[in-house]
Amino acid sequence: MAYERPRHSNVVLNLTPLIDIVFLLLVFFMLTAHFIEDQALVVDLPDANSAPAAAEHKEIVTVILSPEGVIFVNDQPVHEHELQKFLKAALDETENRKQKTENRIVRIRGDNEASLGSAVKVLDAAEASGAKAVDILTEKP
């Protein structure tokens, strides 16, 4: 009885259709994806008729006041007692990036249901940390 060697067939898979499908899926997801920056916290801004349009700047420190009384500095939760320290650090960081002292601006995004006391604490901490200006964001009705 003669030993028969196993036959190996040189089967090569054609990957071209698979690559075509992967590229089509990639294009589909790229076209249907939303490239909008979502806010970390949804804030219902108060209404104001005479509010000027706010310009978006990277060097502005943003403070968010939630309705529950939680304070966020540049999307990081901060306790009231540490607010001045965080604002000073954030303002110093923006000043170091731009090398200008007039860029020490704090922008407050306060919810319509946020307490006035929280807003006053933020204003006081911003002034104590060396902010040159404080903006309060509102919406036009």
Highest mean pLDDT among 21-30, 78-87, 96-105: 21-30
Cβ proximity of 61 and 105 under 8 Å: yes
Least confident of 36-45, 58-67, 120-129: 36-45
Q: What is the mean pLDDT of residues 44-61?
A: 64
Mean pLDDT (whole number) for 50-71: 73
DSSP 80: G
Torsion region of 118: left, alpha or beta (phi above 0 gives left; psi -120 to 50 gives alpha): alpha
pTM of the model: 0.58
Q: For each of the domains in the chain, give its residue range(s) and CATH number, in order of start.
A: 61-136 (3.30.420.270)
pLDDT for position 54: 57
pLDDT at position 58: 55
40's CB contacts (< 8 A; 6+ apart) are 64, 72, 75
